[in-house]
Amino acid sequence: MLDEGGHTMLTLYFAPGSSSMAVHIALHEIGVPFEAKRMSFKGNDMSSPDYLALNPEGKVPTLLVDGRPLTEVAAILYYLAKRFPESALLPRDDIEADAQALSWMSFAASTLHPARRRGLDHAREVWGIADRRLGSGWALQDYSIADIHLFRLYWRFANSLKPAPEIFPNLTAHYARMMARPAVQKTIEVESAIGYELPA
């Protein structure tokens, strides 16, 4: 199914500031047309029967690809990078780079994402691991979906717990590089204008 311009029809279900921000950024990086459907935590939109039919977990993001639902941040980012290789969000024909990106995103989802809920000491420990693992550059050799995933999680951590820049120098520098990207700026502009209502 294609839209009038011959593009795959993409619909993003998102909640401002939530994990779906990463997918929102990737879509703006790619520059492909998409429909954005805002979901509200306060309105319990993710618990509606219609939404649960798309995503039984009742969370965001969900990306409809020609009407077919795709869920989980890492899976959606990987799909977008592979579906639109001209965006250079993953190196072409490099299975090791693919694996490294998946390694980073698995680490982000399983270790970094739940860290804040386990207390400040634990969060500092795992973000320290991320800082050392990242080093002074991008997550891979070049900018990729791994950076987008990492940024969104650190954006939430940094804006809620406000660690001193010197505690995580590599992540702080990475955050600044990400904030300078037009796709990140556009996403934050759109989502902040709607308003954040993130769960604790």
DSSP code, position 12: E
- Whole-number pLDDT of residue 57: 96
What's the pLDDT band for 199 if we cut at 50, 70, 90?
low
pTM for the full model?
0.93
The CATH 3.40.30.10 domain(s) of the chain lie at 10-86+184-194
Question: Which CATH number does the domain 10-86+184-194 belong to among 2.40.160.60, 1.20.810.10, 3.40.1160.10, 3.40.30.10?
Answer: 3.40.30.10
- CATH code of the domain made up of 91-181: 1.20.1050.10
**pLDDT above 60: residue 181:** yes
| Measured distance CA(151)–CA(146) in Å, rounded | 8
The CATH 1.20.1050.10 domain(s) of the chain lie at 91-181
How do residues 13-44 score in pLDDT, each as one tens digit? 999 999 999 999 999 999 999 999 999 999 99
